[in-house]
């Protein structure tokens, strides 16, 4: 296939952003339709790429490059996908499409809103497909910057400035630390290249890896929300407008986790072995502590924000097992959590837009006025609890099996997170969607529009599809996990 | 025809799901149409189950109608179904009770469509447990059934439903957590979830487990014992065995009538089935070692369940506690068989009794909850003291209630007697003391059943109800008739079902 599908997917958004800026700002419907068309194109192309990947061949496919970019420094444009990042490309396609769908009602400067959202999407796509370390950092920063504007301008008025600042500082500091580690690799390898496939063969000494691994891994893991540097994420989620929260929790946190895997674990496997116990401990705290904090929140959106912290802990746990089951589960969890949390934030947004409050105690009875939204939230909740038949179970089960092989005690402790999650999800479903609808809302709650419906059905459908038929994704991710493990001397 | 024969189990399993989806496509306002459609659609799995019953050849060993397909290869789990005599009878029970419960739920008028669809989904979940031969698949269906049941109680239950449904869900999920961890451990150790393979690999396992990082080094037998208890507790909560039964009175009492019927009729059997399908084959040594503990708990369930039931003044709660009492016999029979494990006549009889008791309790508990529902719907009261002298006011209802109550009491000639007798006969030589103590329970069973009949049907007439229509209607009679017919049939001639159960039980001990 000579069609450069990956480049097209990642540059459609930024091209769209440029087109949007050229459109007159008051033609709001035109802007929305252009945005929707572009998002749909990204979505369909990522689906196409997902299903045309040849699993029998494996390895990096749809490769482009390396084309010299800054030749003198060994920086090139080099992209390709394998079993680990292809699902994430699909995830990004899904989230950008549904994110635009549910943002139909954004009325404040939609042109700029969608343009920044698309710039963000380019950054995210770019990171997932990068095979060049410098290029990865380049796109990483492209993804972080529009986030600041999106939150600070369109966010929740009460905390948006604080949250945007906090998020940006955390992420920049994280990425600077990671960059230091990356530069150390570049100079030590002394191969005049940033190409990650070449760097995989660099053979860094164990002492080097022991020292530099934490820089790279934890630098990126900040964006993955690892304890104790997870603090930016609930604040950021809550302050962001709905589509941005979806992007933020659904995709951006995966960006951190993926980069930690791609640059940290895959380039310095020895370092990963040495530091894995610490990651296990921190990620276990994520899982259990995150769930406990979620349980005591009074704000609907904060519950979901902290639940993301808890669930991303499972991804990190899967990484830290450094075995096939754990990594496969982590890959599945990244996808599953991305879709699930996008669904959650979409629902929260729909409720908030109508009730103008997120205080759980003031909500109630919403299943009567928005039955589809209630069903969607319940499905997301079941995924979150790890209920069999939904994607969460499919993702968590191998992670736990991987943990049993590596550190059984962690499996047992982390399993507590499941019960805690069940209790807060059940509580929210009961409080927000059932019971009596408060007097002040009666007759004031408008139903959702068809764009919202498509988005909810698509997201919920994916969660069920993977839950019922895991083979649609698991073998692909397993092949990616095998490729990661091959770097550990065929472990 | 060949297609049906080859995929019989899958068809039974998923026809309720398909029915649920079709029901959901109907316009929500057409309540009558929805009721008819759901009830008629639920006859499809029943028809297929009857087909299965006759096509099943009990004389050949091993699982029949086996189906296997790739499902979740990455962790070694497959879609693997099969049936033996125990699962065939449980499938028959499930598919029989579902249409009857749906029929009795015609009085529901709030969100009928969702109610019916959830009920049909619940049926798939329960059937899946009985048909799975893959450990992971078993767990999937085990948990999947929880969700519809939770919403049936939570949304359509009576006053205290929130508390009851939450308690039900958290109890069962907490119990499943240990089960989940133990299943993961087994999966990691055996490298597969195929139940037949695991049975040989896991039971033969005696070299130290490669479990790194446990703070203390545990021997293989200790690990197995812990895993054994994880399984036992999960199933014990579901059965429920004393002292894990406290969720049951709340859930059963608050659930809508159809929900209570299925809850008592089938859901409790899932736990007992877990003992038979998983605990005995996977942990023969541990089961033998702890059989006495199980037997003791079963006996306590019989005795204390009966006393608790006797003490109730709430009709539905009384029937709910009677389930604890009756399921105790199932546990006692299983414990006796686990204790000897030698295929001796006593063990076989006890286990036969236990399986038949599962079936019988399914019939009588469903019948009793149905009848409680009938009277509750008319009086809006469950308080036994508010009734009185209903026999002359509702003679047909009185007759049916007496009949069903007698089956529950264990009157010879009706089904309950046969299975309880078998359990007692089989357990007596093995666990003599427990069996003797359980006789107290049997005595009290008579007391609480008679108390209920007396308070409802006899005694001074409560004048309040004189001009109140109390008689059972035709739809409800239609729902209860098949149950009564089976109670009588099994009571008079249990051979038709015991033959199938016995052939499987004999093979359970190799």
- pLDDT score, position B510: 57
DSSP B241: P
Give the integer Cα–Cα distance in Å for B210 and B232. Answer: 24
Chain A residues touching residue B155 (CB < 8 angstroms)? 434
- pLDDT score, position A155: 85
Which H or E run contains B416? helix B415-427
Interface contact flag, B73 A471, Cβ < 8 Å = yes
Give the integer Cα–Cα distance in Å for A216 and B496. Answer: 70
Average pLDDT of chain B to the nearest whole number: 88
Q: What is the pLDDT of residues A157-174, one digit of tens each?
A: 888 888 888 888 888 898
Average pLDDT of chain A to the nearest whole number: 88
Interface contact flag, A422 B75, Cβ < 8 Å = no
Give the integer Cα–Cα distance in Å for A312 and A320. Answer: 13
Interface contact flag, B75 A397, Cβ < 8 Å = yes
A482 CB within 8 Å of a chain B CB: no
A53 domain-assigned: yes
Q: What is the pLDDT of residues A180-236, one digit of tens each?
A: 998 998 888 888 888 888 888 888 888 898 899 999 999 999 888 888 888 888 888
Top residue of A389, A393, A457 to mutate, by most chain B CBs within 10 Å, is A389
A225 domain-assigned: yes
For chain A, the domain total comes to 1
Spatial contact of A364 and A438, defined as CB atoms under 8 Å apart: yes
CA of A463 vs chain B CAs: smallest distance (Å): 15
Chain A residues touching residue B140 (CB < 8 angstroms)? 388-389, 393
| pLDDT average, residue stretch A275-286 | 92
Cis peptide before B243 (omega within 30 of 0): yes
Strand partners, B78: B70
Chain B residues touching residue A321 (CB < 8 angstroms)? none
Model confidence at A156: pLDDT above 50 = yes
Q: Where are the alpha helices (DSSP H) in A190-299?
A: 196-199, 206-221, 232-239, 242-247, 253-259, 269-295
Give the integer Cα–Cα distance in Å for A243 and A346. Answer: 7
- pLDDT score, position A257: 92
As separate numbers, helices (DSSP H) first and strands (DSSP E) second, chain A gives 20, 2
Nearest by CB to B166, from A410, A415, A426: name it.
Answer: A426
User: What is the three-class DSSP state of B214?
Assistant: coil
Range of the domain at A284: 5-486
Chain A residues touching residue B169 (CB < 8 angstroms)? 422, 426
Paired sense of beta strands B64-72 and A75-81, if any: unpaired
A491 domain-assigned: no
Mean pLDDT per block of 10 residues along chain B (510 residues) reads 84 92 88 90 93 88 87 87 91 94 89 90 93 92 89 87 87 88 88 87 71 60 87 91 88 90 92 92 88 93 92 91 92 91 86 92 93 90 86 89 91 89 91 91 90 88 81 90 93 90 81
User: What is the three-class DSSP state of A469?
Assistant: coil
Its pTM stands at: 0.91
Give the integer Cα–Cα distance in Å for A351 and A347. Answer: 6
- pLDDT score, position B202: 81
ipTM, two decimals, is 0.88
Select the more confidently predicted residue: A371 or A315.
A315
C-alpha Rg value of chain A to the nearest Å: 21
Interface contact flag, B74 A423, Cβ < 8 Å = no
Q: Where are the alpha helices (DSSP H) in B255-344?
A: 257-262, 268-274, 280-282, 284-310, 315-340
Interface contact flag, A394 B72, Cβ < 8 Å = yes
Maximum Cα–Cα distance for chain B, whole Å? 75
Model confidence at A123: pLDDT above 70 = yes
- pLDDT score, position B49: 93
The least confident of A263-267, A308-312, A362-366 is A362-366
Across the A:B interface, residue pairs with CB atoms under 8 Å apart total 94
Residues with Cβ < 8 Å from B322, sequence gap 6 or more? B305, B306, B309, B365, B368, B408, B445, B448, B449
Nearest CA in chain B to A481: B74
- pLDDT score, position A100: 92
CA of B126 vs chain A CAs: smallest distance (Å): 14
A15 CB within 8 Å of a chain B CB: no
């Amino acid at each position: 296939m000579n069609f450069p599908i990956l480049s097209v997917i990642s540059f459609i958004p930024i091209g769209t952003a440029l087109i949007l800026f050229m459109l007159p700002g008051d033609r709001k419907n035109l802007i929305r339709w252009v945005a929707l068309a572009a998002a749909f194109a990204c979505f369909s192309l990522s689906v196409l790429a997902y299903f045309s990947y040849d699993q029998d061949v494996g390895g990096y496919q749809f490769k482009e490059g390396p084309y010299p970019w800054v030749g003198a420094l060994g920086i090139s444009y080099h992209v390709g996908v394998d079993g680990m990042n292809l699902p994430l490309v699909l995830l990004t396609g899904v989230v950008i499409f549904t994110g635009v769908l549910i943002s139909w009602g954004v009325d404040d400067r939609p042109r700029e809103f969608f343009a920044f959202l698309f710039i963000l999407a380019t950054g995210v796509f770019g990171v997932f497909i990068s095979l060049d370390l410098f290029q990865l950092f380049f796109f990483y920063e492209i993804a972080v910057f529009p986030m600041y504007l999106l939150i600070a301008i369109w966010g929740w008025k009460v905390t948006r400035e604080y949250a945007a600042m906090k998020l940006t500082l955390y992420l920049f500091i994280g990425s600077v630390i990671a960059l230091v580690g990356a530069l150390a690799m570049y100079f030590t390898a002394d191969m005049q290249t940033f190409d990650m496939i070449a760097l995989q063969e660099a053979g860094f000494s164990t002492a080097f890896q022991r020292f530099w691994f934490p820089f790279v891994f934890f630098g990126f893991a900040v964006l993955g929300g690892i304890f104790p540097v997870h603090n930016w994420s609930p604040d950021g989620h809550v302050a962001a407008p709905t589509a941005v929260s979806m992007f933020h929790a659904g995709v951006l946190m995966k960006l951190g986790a993926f980069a930690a895997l791609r640059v940290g674990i895959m380039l310095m496997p020895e370092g990963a072995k040495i530091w894995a116990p610490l990651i296990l401990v921190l990620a276990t705290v994520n899982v259990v502590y995150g769930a406990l904090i979620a349980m005591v929140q009074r704000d609907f959106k904060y519950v979901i924000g902290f639940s993301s912290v808890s669930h991303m802990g499972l991804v990190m746990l899967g990484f830290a097992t450094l075995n096939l089951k754990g990594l496969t589960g982590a890959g599945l969890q990244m996808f599953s959590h991305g879709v699930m949390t996008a669904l959650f934030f979409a629902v929260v947004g729909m409720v908030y837009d109508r009730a103008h409050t997120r205080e759980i105690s003031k909500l109630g009875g919403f299943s009567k006025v928005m039955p589809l939204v209630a069903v969607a939230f319940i499905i997301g909740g079941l995924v979150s609890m790890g209920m069999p038949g939904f994607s969460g179970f499919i993702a968590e089960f191998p992670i736990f099996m991987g943990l049993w092989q590596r550190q059984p005690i962690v499996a047992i402790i982390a399993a507590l997170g499941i019960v805690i999650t069940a209790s807060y999800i059940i509580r929210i479903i009961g409080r927000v969607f059932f019971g009596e609808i408060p007097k002040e809302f009666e007759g004031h709650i408008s139903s959702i529009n068809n764009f919202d419906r498509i988005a909810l059905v698509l997201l919920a459908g994916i969660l069920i599809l993977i839950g019922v038929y895991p083979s649609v994704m698991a073998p692909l991710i397993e092949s990616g996990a095998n490729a990661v493990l091959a770097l550990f001397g065929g472990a | 025809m060949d297609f049906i024969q080859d995929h019989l189990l899958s068809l039974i399993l998923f026809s309720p799901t398909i029915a649920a989806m079709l029901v959901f496509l109907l316009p929500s306002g057409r309540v009558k149409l929805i009721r008819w459609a759901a009830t008629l659609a639920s006859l499809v799995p029943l028809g297929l189950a009857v087909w299965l019953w006759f096509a099943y050849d009990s004389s050949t060993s091993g699982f029949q109608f086996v189906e296997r397909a790739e499902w979740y290869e990455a962790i070694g789990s497959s879609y693997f179904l099969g049936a033996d005599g125990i699962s065939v009878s449980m499938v028959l029970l499930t598919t029989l009770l579902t249409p009857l419960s749906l029929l009795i739920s015609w009085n529901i008028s709030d969100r009928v469509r969702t109610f019916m669809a959830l009920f049909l989904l619940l049926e798939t979940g329960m059937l899946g447990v009985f048909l799975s031969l893959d450990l992971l698949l078993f767990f999937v269906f085990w948990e999947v059934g929880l969700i519809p049941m939770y919403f049936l109680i939570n949304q359509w239950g009576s006053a205290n439903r929130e508390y009851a449904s939450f308690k039900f869900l958290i109890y069962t999920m907490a119990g499943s957590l240990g089960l989940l961890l133990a299943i993961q451990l087994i999966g990691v150790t055996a490298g597969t979830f195929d139940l037949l393979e695991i049975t040989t690999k896991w039971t033969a396992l005696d070299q130290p487990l490669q479990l790194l990082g446990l703070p203390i080094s545990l021997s293989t037998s200790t690990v197995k014992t812990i895993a054994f208890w994880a399984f036992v507790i999960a199933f014990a909560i579901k059965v429920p065995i004393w002292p894990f039964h406290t969720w049951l009175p709340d859930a059963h009492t608050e659930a809508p009538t159809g929900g209570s019927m299925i809850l008592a009729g089938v859901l409790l059997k899932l736990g007992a089935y877990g003992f038979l399908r998983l605990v005995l084959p996977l942990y023969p040594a541990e089961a033998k070692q702890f059989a006495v503990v199980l037997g003791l708990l079963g006996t306590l369930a019989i005795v204390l369940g009966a006393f608790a039931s006797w003490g109730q003044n709430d009709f539905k709660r009384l029937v709910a506690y009677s389930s604890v009492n009756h399921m105790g016999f199932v546990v006692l029979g299983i414990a006796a068989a686990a204790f000897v494990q030698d295929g001796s006549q006593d063990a076989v009889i006890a286990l036969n009794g236990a399986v038949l008791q599962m079936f019988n309790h399914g019939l009588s508990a469903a019948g009793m909850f149905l009848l409680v529902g009938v009277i509750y719907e008319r009086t809006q009261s469950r308080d036994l003291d508010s009734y009185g002298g209903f026999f002359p006011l509702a003679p047909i209802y009185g007759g049916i209630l007496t009949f069903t109550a007698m089956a529950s009491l264990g009157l010879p000639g009706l089904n309950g007697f046969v299975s309880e007798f078998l359990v007692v006969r089989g357990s007596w030589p093995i666990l003599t003391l427990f069996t003797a103590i359980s006789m107290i329970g049997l005595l009290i069973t008579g007391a609480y059943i008679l108390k209920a009949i007396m308070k409802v049907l006899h005694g001074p007439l409560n004048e309040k109800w004189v001009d109140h229509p109390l008689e059972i209607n035709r739809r409800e009679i239609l729902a209860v008739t098949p149950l009564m017919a089976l109670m009588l049939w099994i009571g008079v001639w249990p051979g038709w079902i015991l033959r199938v159960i016995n052939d499987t039980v004999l093979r359970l001990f190799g």
